Amino acid sequence: MDNIIVKKFGGTSLIDLNRVANLIKKDVEKGCNVVAVVSAVAGFTDRMAFQARQISNLNCKQELSEYDVILSAGEQISCGLLAITLQSIGVNAKSWLAWQLPIVTDDLYSESKIKTIKTDHLKRSFAEGYTVAIIAGFQGIHDNRVTTFGRGGSDISAVALAVAFNVRVCEIFTDIDGIYTADPKIVPKAHKLKSISYNEMLEMSLSGAKILHNRSVQLAMKHNIKVQVLSTFKEVEGTAVLHEKDVLERYTITGITYSTNEALVTFTNLTNTLCTLKDIAGTNIKIDMINGSSFVMSEFDVDLMKELLNKNDGYVVNNNVAKISIIGIGVMSNPEVMHRMLKVFSEKKIEMLAITASEIKISIIVQKECAEALVRDLHTELMCSTTAVCYT
């Protein structure tokens, strides 16, 4: 079937179901069949997650399995509501949950990975005259239990379905009109990119940019799926995520991101540091930056780490930190980037608590209260000034 289009609509888009339905109808009127992946409406999953965590720390597989049942409810509601909305404007749409296809995953609840997607039922549905299949994003099934892919996982569902149908483009609709050099809510002078490489987008996703799930970018890169980030509410050109060779405009700095969901853990007793790090990593806690006797992790994993270390008091946790990341191909090998970055830190008298660098990213840990102003200052210095480092 060569007339299938895969679209994904995020939670902020689904606030206006009529708008979403009419966007889909335009493709149907062009003779296309549409696979529309939907998230839960904005705020629903956060409320459910908060309520569940008021009851339990969710530190065992059985509890996480029930947690996934709770979190998956929002997408099911979105499916039904969008199907009814489409039917009301004359579009023959049908909703599908992950278990009905099925989308089969492993058993790592709340972080599950897709093994297979069956498309036979969807193809039969299209053959029977349904022109739109609405799929509950973010979820799969393992051994007759619902699993979820992690927050923002509907992006993974959409790209995976594009792979399954051998569709070369996956459209991601959101409340912004593309990918910017920084969060435009924080940096008004941030500019939109026409295109960005998979590697750069992956680093941005891992560094706090809430645009695409990092695993969806990895999947798109592996299968050469072009991801088009578009606005639900504006008919403007968005941003394409492509292989580096296909990116037309090349910037030294592609983006500056920040994340405040970080914790800096510093060991005060260095004797068993490596052994302790090994134990932490073995529990599936992600360790980000290792800097001397310190490392960075998600603040959401701190309680689990404390349980693991039990009465070990040889460490200090600092939750009042943020991670700033400067991203671009070859960023570390360009000495002017480092010079200008250090100039900003020196002028603003901001302390670096930790720093790591690679050819594509420089990440710095700072006090949380400095983060937003620092992103603006770095963006001005590196991307907006008349002598800024802009192009390779």
Q: Which three-class secondary structure string do you get for the chain? A: CCCEEEEEECCCHHHCHHHHHHHHHHHHHCCCEEEEEECCCCCHHHHHHHHHHHHCCCCCHHHHHHHHHHHCHHHHHHHHHHHHHHHHCCCCEEEECHHHCCEEECCCCCCCCEEEECCHHHHHHHHCCCCEEEEECCEEEECCEEEECCCCCHHHHHHHHHHHCCCCEEEEEECCCCEECCCCCCCCCCCEECEEEHHHHHHHHHCCCCCCCHHHHHHHHHHCCEEEEEECCCCCCCEEEECHHHCCCCECCCEEEEEEEEEEEEECCCCCHHHHHHHHHHCCCCEEEEECCEEEEEHHHHHHHHHHHCCCCCEEEEEEEEEEEEECCCCCCCHHHHHHHHHHHHHHCCCCCEEEECCCEEEEEEEHHHHHHHHHHHHHHHHHCCCCCCEC
Q: Which CATH class is domain 4-175?
A: alpha beta
Crossing angle between the packed helical segments 371-379 and 335-348, to the nearest 10 degrees: 130
What CATH number has the domain spanning 255-384? 3.30.2130.10
CA dihedral 382, 356, 150, 115 (to 10 degrees): 110
Q: CB neighbours (10 Å) of residue 52?
A: 17
Q: Rounded to 5 degrees, what angle do the CA atoms 63, 216, 118 make?
A: 75
Distance in angstroms (rounded) separating the CA atoms of residues 25 and 238: 20
The pair of structure tokens assigned to 196 is: 């960005």
pLDDT of residue 312: 67
Taking only the tens of pLDDT, the chain with its 392 residues reads 569 999 999 999 999 999 999 999 999 999 999 999 999 999 999 999 999 989 988 878 999 999 999 999 999 999 999 999 999 999 999 999 999 999 999 999 999 999 999 999 999 999 999 999 999 999 999 999 999 999 889 999 999 999 999 999 999 999 999 999 999 989 998 999 999 999 999 999 998 888 999 999 999 999 999 999 999 999 899 999 999 888 866 778 899 999 998 999 888 776 666 777 777 777 777 888 887 788 888 888 888 788 777 766 678 889 999 999 999 988 888 889 999 999 999 999 999 998 988 889 999 999 999 999 999 999 999 986 534 444 44
pLDDT of residue 391: 42
Query: Binding-site residues for substrate, please?
Result: 45, 75
pLDDT of residue 200: 93
Strand partners, 297: 263, 287
End-to-end, the C-alpha distance of the chain in Å comes to 42
pLDDT of residue 227: 97
Q: Are 72 and 79 in contact (CB under 8 A)?
A: no
Query: Binding-site residues, please?
Result: 8-11, 45, 75, 174-175, 180
The pair of structure tokens assigned to 277 is: 């790090």
Q: Which of 176, 157, 82, 55 is nearest to 112 (CA)?
A: 157
pLDDT of residue 392: 40
Query: Binding-site residues for ATP, please?
Result: 8-11, 174-175, 180
Domain ranges of the chain: 4-175, 255-384
Distance in angstroms (rounded) separating the CA atoms of residues 94 and 107: 28
Per-residue CA distances from 120 to 66, 102, 147, 211, 309 (Å):
29, 10, 21, 31, 48
Strand partners, 196: 241
Residue 39 Cα to chain centre, angstroms: 13
Q: Which of 258, 244, 247 is nearest to 190 (CA)?
A: 258
